[in-house]
Protein backbone atom coordinates (compact mmCIF):
# COMPACT_ATOMS: atom_id res chain seq x y z
CA UNK A 1 0.00 0.00 0.00
CA UNK A 2 2.84 2.34 0.93
CA UNK A 3 4.60 1.56 -2.36
CA UNK A 4 1.39 2.35 -4.30
CA UNK A 5 1.03 5.72 -2.55
CA UNK A 6 4.65 6.50 -3.17
CA UNK A 7 4.27 5.65 -6.87
CA UNK A 8 1.17 7.85 -7.16
CA UNK A 9 2.96 10.73 -5.47
CA UNK A 10 5.91 10.41 -7.83
CA UNK A 11 3.57 10.29 -10.82
CA UNK A 12 1.72 13.41 -9.67
CA UNK A 13 4.99 15.23 -9.04
CA UNK A 14 6.20 14.28 -12.53
CA UNK A 15 2.99 15.63 -14.11
CA UNK A 16 3.29 18.92 -12.19
CA UNK A 17 6.91 19.36 -13.30
CA UNK A 18 5.95 18.74 -16.94
CA UNK A 19 3.12 21.30 -16.71
CA UNK A 20 5.44 23.95 -15.31
CA UNK A 21 8.05 23.18 -17.97
CA UNK A 22 5.43 23.54 -20.70
CA UNK A 23 4.39 26.94 -19.33
CA UNK A 24 8.02 28.14 -19.27
CA UNK A 25 8.60 26.99 -22.86
CA UNK A 26 5.42 28.76 -24.01
CA UNK A 27 6.44 32.01 -22.29
CA UNK A 28 9.91 31.90 -23.85
CA UNK A 29 8.38 31.29 -27.28
CA UNK A 30 5.96 34.19 -26.95
CA UNK A 31 8.70 36.50 -25.72
CA UNK A 32 10.91 35.62 -28.68
CA UNK A 33 8.04 36.27 -31.10
CA UNK A 34 7.26 39.61 -29.49
CA UNK A 35 10.87 40.76 -29.72
CA UNK A 36 11.25 39.93 -33.42
CA UNK A 37 11.43 43.26 -35.29
CA UNK A 38 9.15 43.81 -38.26
CA UNK A 39 10.79 44.24 -41.62
CA UNK A 40 10.77 47.82 -42.94
CA UNK A 41 9.30 46.75 -46.26
CA UNK A 42 6.00 45.51 -44.77
CA UNK A 43 3.25 48.01 -45.61
CA UNK A 44 1.36 46.93 -42.48
CA UNK A 45 -1.31 44.46 -41.42
CA UNK A 46 -4.07 43.86 -43.92
CA UNK A 47 -4.76 45.96 -46.97
CA UNK A 48 -4.11 49.66 -47.37
CA UNK A 49 -5.50 52.22 -49.76
CA UNK A 50 -2.97 54.49 -51.46
CA UNK A 51 -2.86 56.85 -54.43
CA UNK A 52 -1.29 55.29 -57.50
CA UNK A 53 -0.11 56.67 -60.83
CA UNK A 54 1.90 55.09 -63.64
CA UNK A 55 4.94 55.83 -65.77
CA UNK A 56 5.73 54.66 -69.26
CA UNK A 57 7.45 55.57 -72.51
CA UNK A 58 9.74 58.33 -71.20
CA UNK A 59 11.47 55.85 -68.87
CA UNK A 60 11.28 52.69 -70.97
CA UNK A 61 14.70 51.02 -71.18
CA UNK A 62 16.31 53.32 -68.62
CA UNK A 63 17.90 51.92 -65.44
CA UNK A 64 15.68 51.73 -62.38
CA UNK A 65 17.01 52.42 -58.88
CA UNK A 66 17.48 48.67 -58.38
CA UNK A 67 19.70 48.50 -61.47
CA UNK A 68 17.18 46.68 -63.65
CA UNK A 69 16.10 48.20 -66.96
CA UNK A 70 12.59 49.58 -66.80
CA UNK A 71 10.12 47.66 -68.93
CA UNK A 72 6.92 49.67 -69.28
CA UNK A 73 5.06 46.51 -70.30
CA UNK A 74 6.23 44.49 -67.29
CA UNK A 75 4.44 44.09 -63.96
CA UNK A 76 6.55 46.27 -61.68
CA UNK A 77 6.20 49.41 -59.63
CA UNK A 78 8.13 52.19 -57.90
CA UNK A 79 7.76 52.92 -54.20
CA UNK A 80 9.51 55.51 -52.03
CA UNK A 81 10.84 53.19 -49.31
CA UNK A 82 9.86 49.52 -49.75
CA UNK A 83 12.80 47.17 -50.32
CA UNK A 84 13.42 46.12 -53.90
CA UNK A 85 11.83 42.73 -54.47
CA UNK A 86 8.77 43.51 -52.33
CA UNK A 87 5.73 41.84 -53.88
CA UNK A 88 2.35 43.58 -53.77
CA UNK A 89 -1.15 42.78 -54.93
CA UNK A 90 -2.68 45.98 -56.30
CA UNK A 91 -6.46 46.20 -56.74
CA UNK A 92 -8.50 48.88 -58.47
CA UNK A 93 -11.56 49.33 -56.19
CA UNK A 94 -13.62 50.65 -59.11
CA UNK A 95 -13.23 47.49 -61.17
CA UNK A 96 -12.08 44.93 -58.55
CA UNK A 97 -9.34 43.94 -61.01
CA UNK A 98 -6.03 42.99 -59.38
CA UNK A 99 -2.43 42.56 -60.46
CA UNK A 100 0.67 41.32 -58.66
CA UNK A 101 3.69 43.58 -59.02
CA UNK A 102 7.23 43.74 -57.71
CA UNK A 103 9.00 46.86 -56.43
CA UNK A 104 12.13 47.55 -58.47
CA UNK A 105 12.30 51.35 -58.56
CA UNK A 106 11.94 54.51 -56.46
CA UNK A 107 9.12 57.03 -56.81
CA UNK A 108 6.71 58.63 -57.36
CA UNK A 109 8.33 62.04 -57.09
CA UNK A 110 5.07 64.00 -57.23
CA UNK A 111 3.57 64.99 -53.89
CA UNK A 112 0.37 63.16 -52.96
CA UNK A 113 1.19 59.99 -54.87
CA UNK A 114 2.33 56.79 -53.13
CA UNK A 115 2.89 54.22 -55.86
CA UNK A 116 4.05 54.41 -59.48
CA UNK A 117 2.89 51.40 -61.50
CA UNK A 118 4.41 50.30 -64.76
CA UNK A 119 2.18 50.98 -67.73
CA UNK A 120 1.56 47.24 -68.07
CA UNK A 121 0.34 46.94 -64.47
CA UNK A 122 -1.83 50.08 -64.74
CA UNK A 123 -3.42 48.76 -67.92
CA UNK A 124 -4.04 45.39 -66.26
CA UNK A 125 -6.25 46.91 -63.55
CA UNK A 126 -7.79 49.64 -65.68
CA UNK A 127 -6.22 52.88 -64.46
CA UNK A 128 -4.01 53.59 -67.48
CA UNK A 129 -6.60 55.92 -69.03
CA UNK A 130 -7.40 57.65 -65.75
CA UNK A 131 -3.72 58.20 -64.91
CA UNK A 132 -4.09 58.61 -61.13
CA UNK A 133 -6.44 56.99 -58.66
CA UNK A 134 -6.88 55.12 -55.37
CA UNK A 135 -5.82 51.48 -55.22
CA UNK A 136 -5.71 48.80 -52.54
CA UNK A 137 -2.32 47.24 -51.87
CA UNK A 138 -1.60 43.99 -50.03
CA UNK A 139 1.84 42.75 -49.01
CA UNK A 140 2.71 39.34 -50.51
CA UNK A 141 6.30 38.85 -49.35
CA UNK A 142 9.66 39.59 -50.89
CA UNK A 143 11.78 38.09 -53.63
CA UNK A 144 15.07 37.86 -51.74
CA UNK A 145 17.06 37.62 -54.96
CA UNK A 146 16.96 41.41 -54.95
CA UNK A 147 18.81 41.61 -51.63
CA UNK A 148 22.56 41.95 -52.03
CA UNK A 149 25.32 41.08 -49.62
CA UNK A 150 28.30 43.34 -49.08
CA UNK A 151 31.58 41.51 -48.34
CA UNK A 152 33.43 42.83 -45.30
CA UNK A 153 36.85 44.01 -46.49
CA UNK A 154 38.16 46.44 -43.85
CA UNK A 155 40.55 49.15 -44.96
CA UNK A 156 42.58 51.52 -42.81
CA UNK A 157 42.18 54.70 -44.85
CA UNK A 158 39.86 57.44 -43.61
CA UNK A 159 37.67 59.73 -45.72
CA UNK A 160 35.40 57.06 -47.17
CA UNK A 161 32.10 57.31 -49.00
CA UNK A 162 29.53 54.92 -50.49
CA UNK A 163 29.01 54.81 -54.24
CA UNK A 164 25.60 53.55 -55.36
CA UNK A 165 25.82 54.12 -59.11
CA UNK A 166 27.72 55.68 -62.00
CA UNK A 167 26.02 56.85 -65.20
CA UNK A 168 26.85 58.42 -68.53
CA UNK A 169 23.47 60.17 -68.60
CA UNK A 170 23.17 62.84 -65.87
CA UNK A 171 19.37 62.40 -65.75
CA UNK A 172 19.82 58.78 -64.62
CA UNK A 173 22.12 59.91 -61.81
CA UNK A 174 19.68 62.62 -60.75
CA UNK A 175 16.80 60.13 -60.63
CA UNK A 176 18.77 57.70 -58.45
CA UNK A 177 19.80 60.58 -56.15
CA UNK A 178 16.18 61.67 -55.71
CA UNK A 179 15.15 58.09 -54.95
CA UNK A 180 17.84 57.68 -52.30
CA UNK A 181 16.84 60.96 -50.66
CA UNK A 182 13.51 59.43 -49.60
CA UNK A 183 15.46 57.64 -46.84
CA UNK A 184 19.04 58.94 -46.79
CA UNK A 185 20.72 62.29 -46.27
CA UNK A 186 23.96 63.65 -47.73
CA UNK A 187 23.38 62.14 -51.18
CA UNK A 188 25.45 63.87 -53.83
CA UNK A 189 26.76 63.52 -57.40
CA UNK A 190 30.36 63.83 -58.51
CA UNK A 191 31.87 63.57 -61.99
CA UNK A 192 34.92 61.76 -63.28
CA UNK A 193 36.49 61.20 -66.69
CA UNK A 194 37.48 57.63 -67.56
CA UNK A 195 39.15 57.08 -70.94
CA UNK A 196 37.68 60.35 -72.15
CA UNK A 197 34.14 59.47 -71.03
CA UNK A 198 32.40 61.56 -68.37
CA UNK A 199 30.60 59.64 -65.64
CA UNK A 200 28.17 60.92 -63.02
CA UNK A 201 28.69 59.08 -59.73
CA UNK A 202 25.95 58.91 -57.08
CA UNK A 203 27.39 58.77 -53.58
CA UNK A 204 26.27 58.92 -49.95
CA UNK A 205 28.03 60.53 -46.99
CA UNK A 206 31.58 60.84 -45.78
CA UNK A 207 32.84 58.42 -43.13
CA UNK A 208 35.87 58.55 -40.84
CA UNK A 209 36.28 54.79 -40.63
CA UNK A 210 35.38 51.65 -42.51
CA UNK A 211 33.02 50.22 -39.88
CA UNK A 212 30.70 53.24 -40.05
CA UNK A 213 30.68 53.17 -43.84
CA UNK A 214 30.06 49.43 -43.86
CA UNK A 215 27.00 49.63 -41.59
CA UNK A 216 25.27 52.03 -44.01
CA UNK A 217 26.46 50.23 -47.15
CA UNK A 218 25.25 46.86 -45.83
CA UNK A 219 21.78 48.33 -45.19
CA UNK A 220 21.69 49.72 -48.71
CA UNK A 221 22.75 46.36 -50.11
CA UNK A 222 20.02 44.54 -48.19
CA UNK A 223 17.44 46.95 -49.64
CA UNK A 224 18.67 45.94 -53.10
CA UNK A 225 21.15 48.65 -54.07
CA UNK A 226 24.53 47.87 -55.62
CA UNK A 227 27.01 49.55 -53.30
CA UNK A 228 30.74 50.13 -53.16
CA UNK A 229 32.85 51.68 -50.38
CA UNK A 230 35.44 53.99 -51.92
CA UNK A 231 37.74 56.86 -51.02
CA UNK A 232 36.02 60.22 -50.72
CA UNK A 233 38.12 61.92 -53.42
pLDDT confidence of residue 46: 63
Domain 160-231, CATH class in plain words: alpha beta
The set of residues, in sequence order, having a beta carbon less than 8 Å from that of 123 and lying 6+ positions away, is none
CA–CA distance, 118 with 54 (Å, rounded to integer): 6
E strand spans, 106-146: 115-118, 133-142
pLDDT confidence of residue 37: 34
| pLDDT tens track for 90-144 | 999 999 999 999 999 999 999 999 999 999 999 999 999 999 999 999 999 999 9
DSSP assignment letter at 146: G
| pLDDT tens track for 49-72 | 999 999 999 999 999 999 999 999
DSSP H/E element including 177: helix 170-180
48-145 architecture in CATH?
Beta Barrel (2.40)
Mean pLDDT of the chain: 85
Domain ranges of the chain: 48-145, 160-231
Are 138 and 88 contacting, i.e. CB atoms less than 8 angstroms apart?
A: yes
Amino acid sequence: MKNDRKSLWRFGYYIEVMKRLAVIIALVFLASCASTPRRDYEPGPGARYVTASWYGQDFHGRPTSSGERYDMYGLTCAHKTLDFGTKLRVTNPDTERSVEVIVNDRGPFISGRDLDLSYGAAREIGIANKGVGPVKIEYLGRDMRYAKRLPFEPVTSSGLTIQVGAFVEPSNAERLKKGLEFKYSRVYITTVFVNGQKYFRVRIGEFDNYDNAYSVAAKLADEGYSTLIVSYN
